[in-house]
Amino acid sequence: MKHTDIKKLFTNSAEYVEKSVIVCGWVRTFRDSKTISFVELNDGTSFKNLQLIIDKDKNIDTKNLVAGTSLKVEGLLVESEKNGVELQVANLEVLGECPAEYPLQKKRHTLEFLREIPHLRIRTRYFQAVFTVRDQLAQAIHKYFHLNGYKYLHAPIITASDCEGAGEMFRVTTQDWNANYKTEQEYYADDFFGAKAGLSVSCQLEGEMAAMGLGRIYTFGPTFRAEHSNTTKHLAEFWHVEPEVCFADINDIIEIGEEFIKFIIKDCLENCKDELAFLNQYGEQGLLEKLEHVVNSDFAKVDYTDAVEILKKSGKQFVYPVEWGDDLQTEHEKYLTDEYFKKPTFVVNYPAHIKSFYMKQNPDGKTVAATDLLVPGIGEIIGCSEREADLDKLLEAMKKRNMPTEAYEDYLATRRFGSVPHSGFGLGFDRMLMYIAGVQNIRDTLMFPRTVGKI
Ligand code: 4AD
Ligand code: MG
């Protein structure tokens, strides 16, 4: 269908003004006066609507131009002081009518209501803004890694190894339950892969192996967690960005993480001006100021041990009192980022026993060279560490956790053959989008979010 994107009419207006153009789109609003009708048309390419001017003298049928109707329109593009450009309609064709049961009649609906119609909420201004930023954020991530010499790696989604060792894997099977099997082993041996298989929680282990040949890699795809966490920041299926860098220690990867986060925020600020201005006005107040501040100031960095002291001295009544050795709860993270540091904060050197097996053991014998990046309003967005490069220490950590080392032979080979210091992190992409777009609930960052009890 020959037509011009509405976006081009705004960004390249000199090329189109005073010429006849054809545009397509959906009616956002319709307004009538004595002599003229006004339609706000949006085709998804531009956040700004194109205003259509329909002169009543022209005998164009406007009675069905309700919100949601799709149109093909031809007319003269003219300059407008208020709108930049607008279209004086000569011909109008209704592509699809929109009957009265269309649920998006009102100007503003609650996000809760819109969650019940995920297939239609994408047509609202709010979700157009969020999903445009989502796209830009993904592009910015690829841009950062490409510019910095990382290779984009595709790791398997179906896997036999639980990287985080937290037992949160979804199983992948083609077998029905059959009571004739005597042991689990026998049962899995008959399954599609001849072994117990699941959906990957993280591509890190494959990423580490690849980095040993390619130097620097990143993966970016969906990963899966069968956590029964029904919170505003947990998904069963989330998008995960995982770089892995050879010849980098914990301080190097922290520097990379900070540079990376600033780069992707800056890229969105530059390329999603209209969308972020809208989200600043109708979503999170002070969003733009927050993002500018993050880009232009240093992140905080605090040792886990010091963070525990800060929490103890805070005078706050936490639901979970904190002691050295405990994992930080959301309320603790919130205090550190929202009240104490008031900016993104790396908490470094966690106790070994609350973290995963692969993290580099510090000389103190108690902590590991691991860091979480916490941000105000959300909490953890990055889980990061230097990896244990020493085979014996790694084996010891696995045995402590009762892990079957024979299942990790390929991974252990990276330490056997030319092991090097290396580090990496995992960024929760959907949480990053929450932070940039000021989205309060992770269910509003994906078209069809998957959460416990809901598919
Ligand atoms: O901290 P996590 O579990 O770290 C790893 O998986 C490492 N193997 C990553 C690596 O070093 N390559 O997860 C990393 C990030 C978290 O900080 C969080 O932002 C996000 O993934 N995440 C989730 N996001 C949405 N829903 C969930 N259920 C998430 N679980 C983790
Ligand atoms: Mg984590």
- Residue 281 to residues 30, 35, 39, 92, 278, Cα–Cα distance (Å): 23, 33, 23, 33, 5
Indicate which atom in ligand 1 lies nearest the CA of residue 385: 11
How many angstroms does the Cα of residue 166 sit away from the middle of ligand 1? 12
Indicate which atom in ligand 1 lies nearest the CA of residue 380: 17
What's the average model confidence in pLDDT over 206-229?
97
Q: Please report the pLDDT score of residue 35 as a whole number.
A: 94
Query: Ligand 1: which residue has its CA nearest to atom 6?
Result: 202
How many angstroms does the Cα of residue 339 sit away from the middle of ligand 1? 24
CA neighbor of 85 nearest in space, from 2, 14, 5? 14
What's the average model confidence in pLDDT over 299-324?
96
- Residue 29 to residues 69, 100, 122, 420, Cα–Cα distance (Å): 10, 14, 16, 60
For residue 185, name the pLDDT band (cuts at 50, 70, 90).
confident
Residues whose Cβ atom is located within 5 A of ion ligand 2: 383
What's the average model confidence in pLDDT over 221-243?
96
For residue 238, name the pLDDT band (cuts at 50, 70, 90).
very high
pLDDT digits (tens, 9 = 90+) for 85-102: 999 999 999 999 999 999
Ligand 1 pocket: which of 145, 164, 204, 240 to mutate (most atoms within 8 A of CB):
240
Query: Ligand 1: which residue has its CA nearest to atom 24?
Result: 428
How many angstroms does the Cα of residue 390 sit away from the middle of ligand 1? 24
Q: Please report the pLDDT score of residue 335 as a whole number.
A: 97
What's the average model confidence in pLDDT over 128-150?
98
How many angstroms does the Cα of residue 234 sit away from the middle of ligand 1? 10
Tokens describing residue 43: 């085709």
pLDDT digits (tens, 9 = 90+) for 20-46: 999 999 999 999 999 999 999 999 999
Is residue 200 within 8 A of residue 223, CB to CB? The reply is yes
Q: What average pLDDT does the structure give for the chain?
A: 96
CA neighbor of 7 nearest in space, from 74, 68, 85? 85
What's the average model confidence in pLDDT over 64-68?
93
Taking the CA of 350 as reference, the closest ligand is: 2
**53: part of which helix (H) or strand (E)?**
strand 50-55
How many angstroms does the Cα of residue 407 sit away from the middle of ligand 2? 23
Alpha helices in 56-203 (DSSP H): 111-115, 118-121, 125-147, 184-189
For residue 246, pLDDT beyond 90: yes
3-state per-residue secondary structure call for 160-223: CCCCCCCCCCCEECCCCCCCCCCCHHHHHHCCCCCCCEEECCCCHHHHHHHHHHHCEEEEEEEE
Residues 6 or more apart whose Cβ sits within 8 Å of residue 8: 15, 16, 45
Q: Which residues' Cβ are closer than 6 Å to ligand 1? A: 163-164, 202, 204, 225, 227, 234-235, 238, 240, 242, 380-384, 424-426, 428, 430-431
pLDDT digits (tens, 9 = 90+) for 390-438: 999 999 999 999 999 998 999 999 999 999 999 999 999 999 999 999 9
For residue 258, pLDDT beyond 80: yes
For residue 167, pLDDT beyond 80: no
For residue 107, pLDDT beyond 80: no
How many angstroms does the Cα of residue 93 sit away from the middle of ligand 1? 49
Q: Please report the pLDDT score of residue 138 as a whole number.
A: 98
Query: Ligand 1: which residue has its CA nearest to atom 21?
Result: 428
